[in-house]
Amino acid sequence: MTAAARAGCRLRRHAVASVAWLPMTSPASETRTLHGWGRTAPTVATVITPRTPEEVAAAVKAAGRRGIIARGLGRSYGDPAQNAGGTVLDMTGLARIHTIDADSGVVDLDAGVSLDTLMRRALPFGLWVPVLPGTRQVTIGGAIGADIHGKAHHVVGSFGNHVEAMTIVLADGSTRELTPEGPDAELFWATVGGMGLTGVIVRARLKLHHVETAYFKVDTEQIDNLADLMDRQTRDDEKYAESVSWFDAVTTGEHFGRGLLTRANHATLADLTPKQRRDPLKFDAPQLLTVPDVFPPGMLNRVTGRLFSELWYRKSPTKLGAIQNITQFLHPLDIAGEWNRGYGPHGFLQYQFVVPLERGDVIRTVLERMTEAGQVSALNVLKRFGEGNRAPLSFPKPGWTLCVDIPIGPGLNELCEDLDRIVLDAGGRHYLAKESRTTPEAIRRGYPRLEEWRTVRAAVDPAGVFASDLARRLELI
Amino acid sequence: MIDAVGNPQSILLLGGTSEIGLAAVEAFASDRPMRVVLAARPSQRLTDAKARLEARGCAVETLDFDAKALDTHASVVEKAFAEGDVDVAIVAFGLLGDNEEAWTDGAKAVELAQVNYTAAVSVGVALGDRLKQQGHGSLVALSSVAGERARRSNFVYGSTKAGLDAFYTGLTEALRPFGVTVTVVRPGFVHTKMTEGLKPAPLSTTPEAVAEVIVHAVRTKQELVWAPAPLRFVMSALRHVPRPVFRRLPL
């Protein structure tokens, strides 16, 4: 697409005109039981679905003793988007994309827009969301609040790095625009990764990347032990825009930690087949089924875990330069809606941590402890992070990050306490968007800048209007 | 907050010197130190319990609580919630009494009824109100298998526990929509100071074993549990034994 054509495609909507359409009633409000993606620790809150920033401000001002917190699509595993006995704002009602500038790649949009929607709208203009986590079902507000990362972290950093400006509603109901370098830079960076505790993000301006196609040119390497897997990932990751590895946490012995290293660059037009070239920016990401809520606990056990790991490992022999679409490469799990139901009614937890590069040995120790404890994890993801950003509570920092999914069951608590010690002693920390069970002490140790963040937060919310189950549990505020 | 694997961070024990109650608090605290509120009449036992829990790293607060002083219950519960959320509240106070005395002496009978039933209902209402506002939490009530079928040897106590049991079973349903789990615990014969000198019934147990049952029930959100667990089936059978046979059983 030429620059002129891109400019012609510029999409503009007039927010003011649309607002007049909205009925002048108060937003919907109901009492609901909420839990995170892990389906653990449900609590009850009053859920309000605002349609405008003004309604957000009104709800913040009307918040009671138990406070208020914003919620997006509920993909955090633990409890950051629930607020027992208080108010929760369902932000998916604020879901308008205001403008997309195809030349500069800047998008102005509401905080309740999902990454899925954003990708669908931006791709036709050749624009790519630079930071994509394992699912597209994440709102912009949630992406900023958790400062999410993706397989491209070693090159592009985390989500907050791509935010040019955001508008937030503060505890007193006032609205403020924040920029990364402006007068409120401190508050901007306290909001990035701030888990919604500084205010409600209602609108943002993001800078997207330009791509020629929606495809990836993928190198998959089957590597039969953990040491080699990590070694390969250390050597030439910089040649790839995206890099991640999955490994088998069930097989023991000499093939312990065997896995698949998948790394990719955006495919150019020349890389595509003639058929793909006809629609190079095709958004090919269907949701084929919704998992029903019928599974008993214990579906993932040593037998099914071993079977899954074997199949997953075998399905992808080493192959270089394969062209894959968004679903194949980035989001295979998005094919199945509500896949978390497969873990059964007791739910599961995701344990994700980062340790400094020089402590790569921790990865092996953690896996050994898990195997010894008889815990089975099928979805194990290992990645090497690049540089972190300025946000005091942002999770990524240079090092190895490991992520495992474990169903809730006997012995899990003891195992996790054990892992906490190993991770923290190595100078590591936990990811708040995944966290559902650690102690306030573990967060204090892992995030040495927590006090600095608290000071910034306290200045804009001295009365503690913004509160969540996560904040209470980990004594963040 | 109670976390994803069922660890609470704060616990309120009404009947702060109850052996079963304290064993439960210690069992929770052995996994992770927590904020503890012990509500009881001041005594050496209370001071000792506080010291023991503090040695485990818990932050312990004691509140003066008299089950018979019904009009003070609301304010005691209020104070317990003043310092933050209460994740688990255990209603553990109670009297056993002497059955022969209790069914022949009106004052004794009323005392048992007031402490075991009326007071338990009174704190149940106050706790229910606070937990409802909190939007989460776990409420544990110590019932007894004695309430499942009245026995000649223990029916006054049994009747009070039957009342408590019915109230808290109903409260389970009433509080469920507010995110609060109520657990009714039915222990059998437990070796404690309260039962000292009595002949143990079959399947007798210890405060520590009952505590384990309570901890597991809270972690897994069970609403009705027996201690030890097989009593469930024993009591199921006993409830249907014809009276002429039942009265001959050595219970």
Domain-by-domain residue ranges, chain B? 10-246
Looking at beta carbons, which residues of chain A come within 8 Å of B3? 40-41, 436-438, 473
What own/partner pairs with CB < 8 Å and gap ≥ 24 does B165-169 have?
A: B165/B141, B167/B117, B167/B120, B167/B121, B167/B124, B168/B91, B168/B120, B168/B124, B168/B139, B168/B141, B168/B143, B169/B224
Question: What is the per-residue pLDDT for B198?
Answer: 87
Looking at beta carbons, which residues of chain A come within 8 Å of B5? 40, 349, 408, 412-413, 416, 436-437
> In angstroms, rounded to a whole number, what is the distance separating the alpha carbons of residues A426 and A442?
12
Question: What is the per-residue pLDDT for A144?
Answer: 98
Looking at beta carbons, which residues of chain A come within 8 Å of B178? 44
Q: Taking CB atoms and an 8 Å limit, are B135 and A349 in contact across chains?
A: no
Confidence band, pLDDT 50/70/90 cuts, at residue A21: very low
Q: Taking CB atoms and an 8 Å limit, are B133 and A85 in contact across chains?
A: yes
pLDDT tens digits for A46-56? 999 999 999 99
Question: What is the per-residue pLDDT for A346?
Answer: 81
Confidence band, pLDDT 50/70/90 cuts, at residue A19: very low
DSSP-assigned letters across all residues of A25-50: SPPEEEEEEE--TT--S-EEEEEEE-
Question: What is the per-residue pLDDT for A457?
Answer: 98
CA A346 to chain centre: 23
Confidence band, pLDDT 50/70/90 cuts, at residue A14: very low
Task: Kindly report the average pLDDT of chain A as a whole number.
Answer: 90
A373 touches chain B (CB under 8 A): no
Confidence band, pLDDT 50/70/90 cuts, at residue A25: low
How many other CB atoms sit within 10 Å of the CB of residue A281?
Answer: 17
B222 touches chain A (CB under 8 A): no
CATH number of this structure's domain B10-246: 3.40.50.720
Question: What is the per-residue pLDDT for A313?
Answer: 82
Q: Yes or no: say if A343 and A360 are a contact pair by the CB < 8 Å rule.
A: no
A265: which residues sit within 8 A by CB, 6+ positions away?
Answer: A216, A217, A239, A240, A241, A242
User: Above 60 in pLDDT, residue A24?
Assistant: no
Which comes out higher in pLDDT, residue A376 or A156?
Answer: A156
pLDDT tens digits for A267-306? 999 999 999 999 999 987 777 777 877 777 777 777 787 7
> In angstroms, rounded to a whole number, what is the distance separating the alpha carbons of residues A180 and A305?
44
Q: Yes or no: say if A183 and A148 are a contact pair by the CB < 8 Å rule.
A: no
DSSP type of residue A77: S
Question: What is the per-residue pLDDT for A182?
Answer: 95
Torsion-angle region of A144 (φ positive above 0: left; ψ -120 to 50: alpha; else: beta): alpha
> In angstroms, rounded to a whole number, what is the distance separating the alpha carbons of residues A135 and A114?
10
- Lowest pLDDT segment from A107-111, A149-153, A302-306: A302-306
Query: Given strand A429-430, what is the order of strands in its sheet?
Result: A319-324, A216-223, A259-266, A242-247, A381-385, A399-407, A348-355, A429-430
The ipTM of this complex is 0.91
Residue A49: strand pairing partners: A28
Q: Yes or no: say if B156 and B103 are a contact pair by the CB < 8 Å rule.
A: yes
pLDDT tens digits for A329-346? 888 777 777 778 877 778
> In angstroms, rounded to a whole number, what is the distance separating the alpha carbons of residues A330 and A113?
19
b/e burial code for range A383-407 (CB count within 10 A of at least 16 → b):
bbbbebbbbbbbbbbebbbbbbbbb
Candidate list B65, B81, B157, B168, residue with the active-site label: B157
A469 touches chain B (CB under 8 A): yes
Which comes out higher in pLDDT, residue A10 or B111?
Answer: B111
Highest mean pLDDT among A309-318, A362-371, A373-382, A449-458: A449-458
Residue B39: strand pairing partners: B14, B63
Question: What is the per-residue pLDDT for A2?
Answer: 43
DSSP β-ladder status, B35-40 and B10-14: parallel
Question: What is the per-residue pLDDT for A377?
Answer: 83
- Mark whether B157 is an active-site residue: yes
- pTM to 2 decimal places: 0.91
Question: What is the per-residue pLDDT for A292?
Answer: 79
Cα-based distances in Å from B101 to B153, B156, B183, B251: 11, 10, 31, 19
Confidence band, pLDDT 50/70/90 cuts, at residue A456: very high
> In angstroms, rounded to a whole number, what is the distance separating the alpha carbons of residues A397 and B77?
45
Pull the structure tokens for residue B186.
Answer: 């039915």
Looking at beta carbons, which residues of chain B come within 8 Å of A408? 4-5
Question: What is the per-residue pLDDT for A3?
Answer: 46
**pLDDT averaged per 10 residues in sequence order, chain B, 251 residues:** 95 96 95 94 96 96 97 97 96 96 96 98 98 97 96 95 98 97 97 88 93 96 96 95 92 74
Mean pLDDT calculated for residue range A63-88: 97
Angle, helices A361-372/A412-425, rounded to nearest 10 degrees: 170
Confidence band, pLDDT 50/70/90 cuts, at residue A120: very high
CA A284 to chain centre: 21
In this structure, which amino acid lies at residue B173? E
> In angstroms, rounded to a whole number, what is the distance separating the alpha carbons of residues A473 and A471?
6
How many other CB atoms sit within 10 Å of the CB of residue B208?
Answer: 15
